[in-house]
Amino acid sequence: MSEPVVLGIESTCDETAAGVVCGGELLSSVVASSMEMHARYGGVIPEIASRAHAEAFVPVVSKALQEAGMELSGVDAVAVSAGPGLAGCLAVGVSGAKALAYAIGKPLYGVNHVIGHIAVTQLQFGAFPENALALIVSGGHTSLLRVRDVATAVDVIGTTLDDAAGECFDKIARLLGFPYPGGPIVDQHAQKGDPKALRVPKALTTGRSAREHPYDFSFSGVKTAVARWIEQRRMKGLDVPIDDVCAALADSVADVLSEKAMAACRQFGSPALIVGGGFSANSQLCAALAKKGKRDGVEVRVPRASLCTDNGAMIAMLGSNLVQSGVEPSGLDFSIDPSMPMNRIVMR
């Protein structure tokens, strides 16, 4: 069987994206973001995002095909994010993908957006080593997954019990007066601050909670502790050392994420850690993972920035894995699943 050409479509939040992959080779990746439309509100407004997807869908898919140097008829399969994500946004992408697949008579796969963040690393690093682990970190997800086969067998071993890492950053950024999205700005300030300037808790890392939740995460307490520290300083009329606040927050979150990920790699005998999601571009997290990976003999694979954030290439790459593994397509009657579980790879 020759390597399949797969068109991937992503519309889970505020990016409308399409990408084309042939086997494991990236042919094109086009992303249209509606982020600027949401900035004035301090977060994503689902109705605005859905409208933006509807307007951008055809231009983005057309450009992706053009950059790949092919017509829609040359595609062997279509893959689309079916969840998790915002319902209205998912509906736009899935409806469009169904129309395209029906028009050309090719198989359609409704896939898990989060698993796409794992698959995309293949475009940069090649095939997965056996028994790899994956750390997914973004504005809405923080999960540790065991990847026995990215097309057929992904198991959840840890997840966030409340706020995700990116969500925690965004909330503190808002309190500090940073524009949306605040995560990258926190990262910039953190590089200039003192991570020991204030004490930030590290939930689920000691005592009974650590034993009961060895690979789970909790960042709500981190957010609350930092927010109260800032408010107390302001109530006393003291300046808030922004660089130090950001550095302490980033250091705490990066330490927890990296230590739990490495502990999981040791327990499961995993030689490699796959990192994905928009927050994986955070400089403190990357540094912590690189340092501890070297310490523990674990290869850490963090994709380049263009592959970290939501994109169509990751959906196309996951679709390519499904086609090559002989997984049955979803058909044209599957539903979106805004709360799609991490261990469901493709919709039926």
9 and 76 belong to one structural domain: yes
Query: The tokens 């086609």 sit on which residue?
Result: 323
170 and 217 belong to one structural domain: yes
55 and 35 belong to one structural domain: yes
pLDDT of 325 reads: 96
88 and 183 belong to one structural domain: no
pLDDT of 180 reads: 84
Could you tell me the two tokens for 211? 């034993």
277 and 136 belong to one structural domain: yes
Pairing of strands 77-83, 142-149: unpaired
3-state class (DSSP) for residue 270: coil
Residue 330 located in a structural domain: no
193 and 222 belong to one structural domain: yes
The pair phi, psi for residue 239, each rounded to 5°, is -70, 150
85 and 198 belong to one structural domain: no
pLDDT of 145 reads: 97
Taking 70 as the pLDDT cut, the residues of the chain under it are 1
Number of domains in the chain: 2
Alpha carbon distance 250, 181 (integer Å): 16
Give me the CATH number covering residue 47. Answer: 3.30.420.40
Residue 29: name the closest of 285, 336, 313, 271 by CA: 313
Residue 214 located in a structural domain: yes
Residue 260 located in a structural domain: yes
CB 298 within 8 A of CB 265: yes
Residue 264: name the closest of 219, 222, 237, 300 by CA: 300
Residue 345: name the closest of 165, 134, 103 by CA: 134
pLDDT of 245 reads: 97
Q: Which amino acid is at 173?
A: A
320 and 284 belong to one structural domain: no
Domain span including residue 74: 5-120+311-324
298 and 229 belong to one structural domain: yes
141 and 251 belong to one structural domain: yes
Q: Other CB atoms closer than 10 Å to residue 126's CB: what's the count?
A: 10
Q: Which amino acid is at 89?
A: C
Alpha carbon distance 199, 248 (integer Å): 7
Residue 282 located in a structural domain: yes
Residue 347 located in a structural domain: no
pLDDT of 141 reads: 87
- Flag whether the pTM goes above 0.85: yes
pLDDT of 19 reads: 98
Residue 283 located in a structural domain: yes
